[in-house]
Structure 1
Amino acid sequence: MMKKIIYFGLLSVMATGFVACKKDFLNRQPKNLVSGAEAYGSLSGIEALTVTLYNDMKTEDMDSTVNNEAGYASTTTDEAVRSYPWGDINNSIVGNWYGGWDYRRVRRVNDFIEKLPGALITDDQKKRFIAEGKFIRAFHYFAMVKRYGGIPLVTSVQQYAPGDDITPLEVQRSKEQEIYDFIAKELDEAIPDLPESYDASNANRITKYGALALKSRAMLYAASSAKYATVQLNGLVGIPAGLANAYWQKAMDAAALIMDSKKFSLYKGDTDKATNFQKLFLNAPATEAIFTKMFQSPDKAHSFDYYNAPQSFRVDYGNATNPTLEMVEEFEYTDGSPGILKVLDGSGNPIVYNKPTDLFIGKDPRMFATILTPFDAWQGGVLEIRRGVIDNGVKYTSEVLSDGYPTIKSEFKRVGKDGPLTTNDPTKTGFYIKKFMDPVNRVPYGRSTTPWMVFRFGEILLNYAEAAFELGKTGEAMTALNLIRERAGIATVTVVSLEKIRHERKVELAFENHRVWDLRRWRTATTVLNNTQFHALYPWIMWEANGNPNTMKYTFEKALAPKNSRTFPEKLYYEPVPQGSPVYIQNPLY
């Protein structure tokens, strides 16, 4: 039989005893190659092996794009539009771009689990590492099942040598229900053997609460499929409706175990509600972060700041993600009233504001931590967003940033230094993203280190609220929902509904790459994104002859964001199954 040598990615610092380092090594890229025998011969070798396994996880973090450079998932939903006019992601129908059908990653974790019994470590250590492997394997299968429905279920390493008959190795698709049940089983087996916490050198490894968080999310998706999707292809996609409540209950129970543990709570480190919410994503505080992907520059960093910096604050690129007016207006006022921005009076005339920032007074503090609005303070300057000048009732604008007013060469510019423009790069909506962005520094390409909370307590409360409501437990749902709203600084609700819970997910989890999956699992994308054109907010300065532009007043106009329509065909609820050998049954409508 052919001898096979398996190679694994290790850290270059392994030989220096990195396990004792204070910094968690999981925030570094795997390096170097050593044989499997060497890797399984010590605790440090096995811990280093897991760097590759964790690095394989499709966490959909700040470096995650769906198509084209800086093509973030939010710009394919109702959260945002893309500023750049180039790229396939600007097509009205955007699909088949997630990928994730990568069984090499599954093979690596299968190999890891199979080899651990022979490793030169203690039995307790073996149990813990096997549990970590099962969590990672469950994570891989969840990443695939939410994209494709039922997929091939492979739990052992398949061996193949040139000339072998591959037919016995071909594994056809399992039913979608079977994959979700496998995920639940994997996590149930892993949870008892995972610790509640680690020391500093292993701080970002998975704990039992991270595994419970994955179970809560995955079972929420399974329940949604059972209730809102249709069983097709003999169960390869869709789950029987009669199983919905059982999955809702599993999602609720997993969330409840995290809540009852008292190990986590909503972050409340700053008395200012907006600042508090902003810091949550810059620091991933231990009170709320259940499982976090850390970054370190230059070894393992990302480029979110580089691609999303506002026009006049960019290093080179910038502007990529432009929140829609619809997203801004999803954020309520603090008294709980709808968040529609008041730009017209009762007679339909534009309201004149003494300062442009006055338009946003009283909005949900989370909005100020999530979205940069016109004339916000930013990185020691001001975000100057102005569409043009109104002089004696006449509008003067431009499609370049350099045109002055009242003459082309005047120092004062018609359009603000940060746009908006209907062409070129600056914002198309009048807004920029703020969540995750460094508020002090302009960060070059590949140097951002803002952490990514794969699971956080805020999501767990929302998972609990949704599952509880679907099970008819409205009191429990409202309690969890109001914890979120109280932390945010807005009025709590006295009546709960599915619409309110879904609304709260949209604003609390904005730009955290949940929205694209929520629209899919609820089967609402075909409605929300049905030939939809999103809107922009255009600030206009009210010109005063011989006046000081710094004290002039503003009005606002709601307009269509240019060239940013969205359509979501029914078939996009699932991605097309890749074909090769074997040939798989294809998903519906492909």
Structure 2
Amino acid sequence: MKIRKYIPLLALASMLLGACNDDFLNEKDTNSYNPEEVWNDIKLVDAYIAYLYRDTFESWPVNSGNLADESGGLYDQSYITPSSKHMKPWNYEEIYKINLLFQEIEKGTLSDSQKKYVKGQAYFLRAWNYFRMVVHYGGVPIIKKPQTTKDDLNVTRNSTKECFDFIVSDLDEAIASLPDKSEGDNYGRISKSIALAFKGRVLLYKASPQFNPSNPYDNEYWDEAYTANKNAKETLEALGYGLLDNYNDIFLTENHKEAILPVIFTNPGRTNGRKEHSVRPITESKNGTGGDQPIWRLVNAYPMKDGKQPGESMTYAFDEQRFWENRDPRFYSTIVYNGAIYELSGKSGRRQYTDIELGTTEDGFGKTQGYYRTGFYSKKGIQVSLPQAEVSLNEVDWLEIRFAEVLMNYAEAANEKGLQGEALEILKKIRKRAGVEEGPDGMYGLKNGMGKDEIREALLHERYIEFTFEGKRFWDLRRHRRLNTLNGIMKFGLEAKLNGEVDVDKAKVYGYLPEDFTYKVSRLIEKDIQTEGGGIQKLTMYMPDTYYFFPISLDDLDKNPNLKQNKDWGGDFDPTL
């Protein structure tokens, strides 16, 4: 059962935040609520916190795979520039609201325990917002109080190290203030468990090659990354968190032991977090499609069911014309291929066709109506039972942190510490849960005797498969400084062509099987094309070294002349540690 304590309070929170200005405490009445009494009433404070949650946490990261080698989008030189709007989070509005809470809650009459709980959540939310900016830009201005027009608003950037220290300090405050778990009516609220897991993620980034290019895998920060992630793993396990037995259940069930930080969706109230209307094939959707369509590179990355890569298995031969056979079970939980059973809208026995004859130009491979069709669709997080007219009513919770990430973060840090045995045990545990065959050597398809470099590659590849379309691939490659593996690549799909003439009666009952087609790997874009905005869509991906830190927006630089631009974008600020 879904518990949705926050939703009814959001309208009130929005109203209250509308009064958050320099005269907030001097207002005698705000739409029948006295702002002076807000911080005396736990229900109103809860409403305020609920609104901060909505400001801070995003929904499913649909189309994030376009930036990497998961889905079909291609980006050229015009995508990220100082004047473009892409990759430019500047979360100071949210930070202002959080700082306002810290200032005003002390003037209220809530009990000490209530204040401690509220402030613990706020510390986490502030850390989250700062981390998001630091990952994009490196160091940013640290602001600890709500600024007013009386303050000097032309602040300077703090160093990246100072920002990481500040984020960790806020997380430590949250860890010390919050209950171990959030259950029952509080499910979805920040807890000590969530803060511990997130601290592990933060320190993994701090130690990463992204922030330490001159000493990527042997710097001093790996010690604290290992300690934090080991502590998170062991503490969460002791509290009952763990991997679900069935990978397929992660997003098909809710409020389970793998859900660390859920962003909750419910109908009625808050729906369409998965943006299912843009992920389903158009014949079973509305108002557009094209999101999260797997490319051939991703499909081909899934191991065989013995854990060996396609073409390397001695047990399961790989044939491009029967590519769907004998794959890692996570393949079938995620990838919809031509002729696969995909019972959308409650249609029993329905198969998804992506050739032009049976799938038509709406669902079939190629380019039509401005959309690319890769020959594949994603089923992760899709509520297949929803009818076409109601696809935007999906209520699948988004798991911003799940226990598999805690394990994988720990394994990465352990490997860089030289503890290859610990890292391998995590890899085997992840593959065992996935349903990969153990094999006679008990290695689940992994190579025996791997060293640090090989395990690092195995972990990065495992994350590619485990977290497909969960918004991690681009950021994983970026923090490892592997964007060069994307720069210049072409993206391919798989074109299906029915063998013989279409039997209309057979097609009506979804009688054609995957083996009734011939397959051809084909480019999604065959030549440079002009976009609707007048630009040129290039044939290949553009991912230069300057993307390891993005430029601060020219709009923000114009507002504050004391901000320095990053050194790779015309400034002299060094965002590395």
Query: TM-score by structure 2 length?
Result: 0.80
Pairing partner for 1:450 from 393, 396, 401: 396
Change (3 A) 1:555 1:29: farther
Query: Superposition pairs for residues 119-158 of structure 1, below 5 Å?
Result: 119-158=108-147
Shift of 1:320: 2.5
Shift of 1:29: 7.3
Question: Quick one: distance in 1 between partners of 2:106 and 2:118?
Answer: 10
Structure 1 position 361 matched with structure 2 position 361? no
SS in 2 for 1:81: coil
Amino acid at match of 2:38: A
Amino acid at match of 1:580: D
Shift of 1:95: 2.5
Q: Tell me, yes or no, if the aligned pair for 2:265 and 2:396 is still in contact at 8 Å.
A: yes
Q: Tell me, yes or no, if the aligned pair for 1:478 and 1:495 is still in contact at 8 Å.
A: no
SS in 1 for 2:106: helix
SS in 1 for 2:566: coil
Shift of 1:245: 2.3
Amino acid at match of 2:193: Y
| Equivalent residue number for residue 489 of structure 2 | 532
Pairing partner for 1:208 from 179, 185, 192: 192
| Equivalent residue number for residue 479 of structure 2 | 521
SS in 2 for 1:321: coil
**Per-residue displacement from partner, 1:352-407 (whole Å, max 9, x unpaired)?**
96xxxx531211111111121111112225344344xxxxxxxxxxxxx5xx6xxx
Question: Quick one: distance in 2 between partners of 1:241 and 1:567?
Answer: 29
Q: Tell me, yes or no, if the aligned pair for 1:341 and 1:359 is still in contact at 8 Å.
A: no
Query: Superposition pairs for residues 111-510 of structure 1, below 5 Å?
Result: 111-161=100-150, 168-225=152-209, 228-229=212-213, 242-268=219-245, 276-302=246-272, 304-339=275-310, 358-378=322-342, 379=344, 380=347, 381-387=349-355, 418-424=363-369, 428-442=373-387, 444=390, 446-491=392-437, 492=444, 493=446, 494-496=448-450, 497-510=455-468
Query: Superposition pairs for residues 537-556 of structure 1, below 5 Å?
Result: 537-543=494-500, 550=511, 553-556=516-519
SS in 2 for 1:543: coil
Q: Tell me, yes or no, if the aligned pair for 2:210 and 2:478 is still in contact at 8 Å.
A: no
Amino acid at match of 1:558: V
Structure 1 position 581 matched with structure 2 position 546? no
Shift of 1:51: 0.7
Change (3 A) 1:351 1:206: closer
Change (3 A) 1:567 1:426: closer
**Per-residue displacement from partner, 1:10-37 (whole Å, max 9, x unpaired)?**
xxxxxxxxxxx98322356721324542
Q: Tell me, yes or no, if the aligned pair for 1:469 and 1:498 is still in contact at 8 Å.
A: yes
Structure 1 position 23 matched with structure 2 position 22? no
Q: Tell me, yes or no, if the aligned pair for 2:336 and 2:352 is still in contact at 8 Å.
A: no
Question: Quick one: distance in 1 between partners of 2:332 and 2:502?
Answer: 33
| Equivalent residue number for residue 572 of structure 2 | none
Question: Quick one: distance in 1 between partners of 2:424 and 2:364?
Answer: 41
Q: Tell me, yes or no, if the aligned pair for 1:29 and 1:300 is still in contact at 8 Å.
A: no
| Equivalent residue number for residue 571 of structure 1 | 546
| Identical pairs, percent | 26
Change (3 A) 1:28 1:80: farther
Q: Tell me, yes or no, if the aligned pair for 2:223 and 2:417 is still in contact at 8 Å.
A: no
| Equivalent residue number for residue 43 of structure 1 | 42
Amino acid at match of 1:308: V
Structure 1 position 94 matched with structure 2 position 65? no
Q: Tell me, yes or no, if the aligned pair for 1:147 and 1:574 is still in contact at 8 Å.
A: yes
Gaps spanning 5+ residues in structure 2: where? 17-33, 438-443, 527-538, 570-577
Shift of 1:415: 5.1
Question: Quick one: distance in 2 between partners of 1:317 and 1:572?
Answer: 30
Q: CA RMSD in A?
A: 3.1
SS in 2 for 1:589: helix
Shift of 1:151: 0.3
SS in 2 for 1:278: helix
Amino acid at match of 1:568: M
Change (3 A) 1:80 1:352: closer
Change (3 A) 1:28 1:277: farther
Query: TM-score by structure 1 length?
Result: 0.78
Question: Quick one: distance in 2 between partners of 1:333 and 1:536?
Answer: 20
| Equivalent residue number for residue 70 of structure 2 | 79
**Per-residue displacement from partner, 1:123-166 (whole Å, max 9, x unpaired)?**
112111111110111111111100110000111122225xxxx5
Question: Quick one: distance in 2 between partners of 1:79 and 1:436?
Answer: 16
**Per-residue displacement from partner, 1:206-239 (whole Å, max 9, x unpaired)?**
11000011101111111104765359xxxxxxx9
SS in 1 for 2:6: helix
Q: Tell me, yes or no, if the aligned pair for 2:248 and 2:333 is still in contact at 8 Å.
A: yes
| Equivalent residue number for residue 31 of structure 2 | none
| Equivalent residue number for residue 271 of structure 1 | none
SS in 2 for 1:291: strand
Question: Quick one: distance in 1 between partners of 2:320 and 2:149?
Answer: 73
| Equivalent residue number for residue 394 of structure 1 | none
Structure 1 position 559 matched with structure 2 position 536? no
Question: What is the number of equivalent residue pairs in this alignment?
Answer: 504
Question: Quick one: distance in 2 between partners of 1:414 and 1:481?
Answer: 38
Question: Quick one: distance in 1 between partners of 2:94 and 2:320?
Answer: 58
Q: Tell me, yes or no, if the aligned pair for 2:366 and 2:524 is still in contact at 8 Å.
A: no
Change (3 A) 1:60 1:92: farther
Shift of 1:251: 4.0
Question: Quick one: distance in 1 between partners of 2:409 and 2:231?
Answer: 10
Change (3 A) 1:419 1:155: same
SS in 1 for 2:126: helix
Q: Tell me, yes or no, if the aligned pair for 2:363 and 2:373 is still in contact at 8 Å.
A: no
SS in 1 for 2:497: strand
Shift of 1:339: 3.3
SS in 1 for 2:521: strand
Shift of 1:447: 2.2
Question: Quick one: distance in 2 between partners of 1:455 and 1:553?
Answer: 41
Q: Tell me, yes or no, if the aligned pair for 1:366 and 1:488 is still in contact at 8 Å.
A: yes
| Equivalent residue number for residue 56 of structure 1 | 55
**Per-residue displacement from partner, 1:502-557 (whole Å, max 9, x unpaired)?**
011111011111112111111111x1211110111122222279997746833221
Question: Quick one: distance in 2 between partners of 1:241 and 1:377?
Answer: 48
Q: Tell me, yes or no, if the aligned pair for 1:291 and 1:456 is still in contact at 8 Å.
A: yes
Q: Tell me, yes or no, if the aligned pair for 1:215 and 1:254 is still in contact at 8 Å.
A: no
